[in-house]
Amino acid sequence: MKIAVLTSGGDSAGMNAVVRSVVKIGILRGCETWIVREGYEGLVRGNTQDYVPYDAPLADPIAAKRARGGVKSAIFENLRFGDGDLLRDGTLDHPNGRSLKGRYIVRAGFDDVRGWFAEGGTLIGTARSKAFRTQEGRLAGAHNLVKEGIDALVVCGGDGSLTGADIFRAEWPTLIDTLLAQGLITQEQHAKHGHLRIVGLVGSIDNDMSMTDLTIGAPTALQRICEAIDNINSTAASHSRAFVLEVMGRHCGWLALLAGVSAGADFIFIPEKPPQANPWEDEMCEAIQRHREVGKRKTIVIVAEGAHDANLQPIRAEYVKDVLSERLGLDTRVTTLGHTQRGGRPCAFDRILPTLQGEEAVKALLESTPNTPSYMIGVRENKITRVPLIEAVAMTKAVADAIAAKDFAKAMSLRDPEFLQSLDNFLTTSTLYKEKQLTPDKRMRVAIMHIGAPAGGMNAATRAAVRYCLKQGHTPLAVHNGFRGLLDDLIHELSWLGVDGWTARGGSELGTNRTLPDVDLGAVASRFQEHNFHALVLIGGFEAFNALLILENGRKHYPSFNIPMVHLPATISNNVPMTEFSLGSDTSLNALVDACDSIKQSASASRNRVFVVETQGGKCGYIATMGALATGASLVYTSEQGMDLDLLRQDVKFLKIRYGLDAKGRSEGRLVIRNECASSVYTTDMVTKMFKEEGGTLFDSRSASLGHTLQGGVPSPMDRARAARLSLRCMAFLEEHHDRLQLQPSRVKTAPPESAAVITIQGSALKWVPVQEMVKHADMKNRRGKKLWWAGIKDLVEALSGRSELL
């Protein structure tokens, strides 16, 4: 199969990762891969010049042949066609005589997309093509594809681009009949190209596509927005100012909403849910005034560019500013983030998601028949999905139609359930409610504790829990320094304002350590009793899970543990069993990506350097494995897989073949990621020295240990949003079990085992797992789960580096 990939519509971070993934996986699956420059416009224009088809694929065919050792590999045949660098440099001409002038459909090899991961935007260009909206344009596009023999197309773009893709697919039989009738293609070509295989990937910063949780580029855009708000926060607080931020999103308020949750805004305006009050200015001013009255020194209002009131009258940032200045007397400024939201290096998620989706796109093309629908590749929580393109496009349009018809309830219902929940989360964590929601008999004293190592999102989760408590009428109690602090009575009540800035804070505001309650279980129980805790929230990693288990086991002997207790997983190692993500793991992956981008740059500058990068993670290889996928590492070592001499021998052989294939003087820096506990014998130092020794004149080696930098400074927006979501679910769980306990007739209550549980993310759902059930799924010795959803990713890492194919 000959597969072409194009990017269309507005650019977004992660589009390059899509192209890289489609090209590499396509080649590995035995396809020929092509790139269409400048979106549909390039398809319409095609190749107007004759050109040398491609360079000899290898710089030094004899050396390569020797390296190949007689093994036939798709990579040898498809290594390099010399155009990747032209695309990357943005140059049309190259001193070697090759030129992209007049060429819009170009062949791409395995190495042509090297290093594309870390670049923002799209290196193959994008455009908004008027010509493609016409049938003549699409006819020219079809002709150009048939001329090159291309029979499959991957389109990465927004809803417009995918609509175009769907029209193109539906029209294809007519288009090729016309081409035949006009004598532009032969009977043979007509017969061969009767069916266009097409698949769509959603590249859009707005996250505006239905039937997928996330679009490619949206997480990076959210990161840019949160960085901006974090920066504005300090100046706003210094001058006690208000800031009105306009963010992108014409029909979709996802960016504004998630930024509101993640950055802790005071008020937001989104198109799907205009303010209810009439006039809305009163509602906004009242909310902000209340915040100011408790002593808040800064105000952040986020306005989506497509925001409007209930009558579809646009709500503009400038107008919001005037209202805040005139009515509340606030010194107010407007900041329009504009295109800064699009730009920059993709975050870890915008490398991992497009890579996995690109793999799925190639799979879908290979499986496609004239009877299967064209798919859009989406994601639901953590699962890559295929949905019929036509349905996704129709549903997306239905949201815009519902907004235009002022049917906002329908517009909200057409967004995914998480969107609705996020709005609820925003209101709960940002509003200072006038009245308590619960009657005094239902109110609880809730203890909140951090356990284990710090992880991004711990503070955001605590903030959400505190704000929920205050809304309901509960008393949120901070237990400082974990169980040691509890024994030392380091407990104090948290306030609404006191936790205001906690979303953006890394580390642990409460203080955390690894002490478990069995340090003195009796004394811990008596503290529970003295402080009259009705519920407990433990935020942490494997230790927190262990602590919960000890407390649950202790219920038999200590009545004060007969209260609802939850564990909210937060650890950069992501080693808590049964949950796919713990808080902090996204922040940590981003820290790893940042560090590795710099390391790889240095390694590439030296032309032939292998960097062995050591990561934290204990005996859980999650960070190492996902980090390897997100940085394009060549090899990854984990404790799960272990290391032995045979493996190392194979790896050295692979690196020799790989460096032998690099064009002369153009060797790349390569990364090898090693989890700190992968082996006690084959240490990072030892592996580095071995690579150096074995690399001879081909490659050199250095090491870097990322250590505690992986805890990340500022938590990522994904971790902050996830923290709010999980924490609020925890609070609802505690309330429910507290109510149930109150219904027990006896004075001494007996909490059932399921009231001590861990909140987990499993597929598309949040699930409660009783801690006693969790133990069955835990490898307690190695401190990780027995089943690891990400275990297969190692194979993908090695496939993408060529190891699987070259050995």
91 is in an annotated binding site: no
Among residues 2, 88, 94, 133, the one that binds ligand ATP under rule CB under 6 A: 133
- Distance of closest approach, residue 215 Cβ to ligand ATP, in angstroms: 8
Angle of CA points 6, 12, 18, to nearest 5°:
45
- Distance of closest approach, residue 156 Cβ to ligand ATP, in angstroms: 9
Angle of CA points 214, 764, 19, to nearest 5°:
35
Among residues 1, 64, 167, 237, the one that binds ligand ATP under rule CB under 6 A: 167
DSSP per-residue codes, 248-310: --SS--HHHHHHHHHHT-SEEEBTTB---SSSHHHHHHHHHHHHHHTT---EEEEEETT-B-T
Q: Which residues pair with 336 in a beta bridge?
A: 246
Position 275 contacts ligand ATP (CB under 6 A): no
- Distance of closest approach, residue 524 Cβ to ligand ATP, in angstroms: 54
Among residues 4, 6, 7, 9, the one that binds ligand ATP under rule CB under 6 A: 9
Sheet holding 535-540, edge to edge: 491-493, 475-479, 445-451, 535-540, 565-569, 756-762, 765-770
206 is in an annotated binding site: yes
**CA distance readout (Å), 266 to 242, 286, 500:** 10, 11, 10
- Distance of closest approach, residue 11 Cβ to ligand ATP, in angstroms: 8
Q: Max Cα separation, the chain?
A: 91
Q: HSE of 265 in the Cβ direction (CA atoms, 13 Å)?
A: 31
- Distance of closest approach, residue 201 Cβ to ligand ATP, in angstroms: 11
Q: How many residues of this chain interact with ligand ATP, rule: CB under 6 A? A: 17
Position 157 contacts ligand ATP (CB under 6 A): yes
> Which residue's CB comes closest to ligand ATP?
160
Q: Which stretch binds ligand ATP (CB under 6 A): 152-160, 496-504, 508-516, 726-734?
A: 152-160
How many Å apart are CA 189 and CA 179, to the nearest integer?
10
Among residues 2, 94, 160, 394, the one that binds ligand ATP under rule CB under 6 A: 160
User: Which distant-in-sequence residues (6+ apart) come within 8 Å of 646 by Cβ?
Assistant: none
Position 159 contacts ligand ATP (CB under 6 A): yes
Position 427 contacts ligand ATP (CB under 6 A): no
Query: Known catalytic residue: 206?
Result: yes
Q: Which stretch binds ligand ATP (CB under 6 A): 65-73, 79-87, 128-136, 272-280?
A: 128-136
Binding residues for ligand ATP restricted to 25-54, rule: CB under 6 A: 40
Q: Are 559 and 540 in contact (CB under 8 A)?
A: no
Position 305 contacts ligand ATP (CB under 6 A): no
Q: Are 303 and 247 in contact (CB under 8 A)?
A: yes
Q: Is the peptide bond before 279 cis (omega within 30 degrees of 0)?
A: yes
Q: Return the number of the residue (16 or 129) whose C-beta is nearest ligand ATP.
A: 129
Position 10 contacts ligand ATP (CB under 6 A): yes
205 is in an annotated binding site: yes
Q: Return the number of the residue (132 or 545) whose C-beta is nearest ligand ATP.
A: 132
Burial string for 788-797 (b: 16+ CB within 10 Å, else e) reads: bbbeebbebb
Q: Return the number of the residue (167 or 366) whose C-beta is nearest ligand ATP.
A: 167
Q: Which stretch binds ligand ATP (CB under 6 A): 124-132, 236-244, 687-695, 786-794?
A: 124-132
Position 132 contacts ligand ATP (CB under 6 A): yes
Position 163 contacts ligand ATP (CB under 6 A): yes
Q: Return the number of the residue (159 or 640) whose C-beta is nearest ligand ATP.
A: 159
Q: Return the number of the residue (10 or 109) whose C-beta is nearest ligand ATP.
A: 10
DSSP code at position 341:
G
Q: Return the number of the residue (10 or 660) whose C-beta is nearest ligand ATP.
A: 10
Q: Look-up: residue for tokens 């049917």?
A: 407
Q: Are 100 and 42 in contact (CB under 8 A)?
A: no
Q: Return the number of the residue (40 or 243) whose C-beta is nearest ligand ATP.
A: 40
Position 373 contacts ligand ATP (CB under 6 A): no
Which of 112, 206, 586, 662 is the catalytic position?
Answer: 206
Burial string for 119-147 (b: 16+ CB within 10 Å, else e) reads: bbbbbbbbbebebbeeeebbbbbbbbbbe
DSSP per-residue codes, 739-791: HHHHT-SSSS----GGGEEEEEEETTEEEEEEHHHHHHTEETTTTEESS-TTT
Q: Return the number of the residue (217 or 564) whose C-beta is nearest ligand ATP.
A: 217
- Distance of closest approach, residue 399 Cβ to ligand ATP, in angstroms: 13
20 is in an annotated binding site: no
**HEC secondary structure over 422-443:** HHHHHHHHHCCCCCCCCCHHHC
Binding residues for ligand ATP restricted to 198-217, rule: CB under 6 A: 204
341 is in an annotated binding site: yes
241 is in an annotated binding site: yes
Among residues 57, 109, 115, 158, the one that binds ligand ATP under rule CB under 6 A: 158
How many CB atoms are located within 10 Å of the residue 253 CB?
A: 34
Q: Which stretch binds ligand ATP (CB under 6 A): 7-15, 110-118, 438-446, 658-666?
A: 7-15
How many Å apart are CA 65 and CA 60, to the nearest integer?
9
- Beta strands 375-380 and 383-388 are antiparallel
How many Å apart are CA 418 and CA 764, to the nearest integer?
10
Q: Which stretch binds ligand ATP (CB under 6 A): 4-12, 220-228, 257-265, 371-379?
A: 4-12
How many Å apart are CA 642 and CA 678, to the nearest integer?
5
**Residue ranges that bind ligand ATP, judged by CB under 6 A:** 8-10, 40, 128-129, 132-133, 157-161, 163-164, 167, 204
Residues annotated as part of the active site: 206
Q: Cite the annotated binding site for substrate by residue number.
A: 204-206, 241, 248-250, 305, 333, 339-342
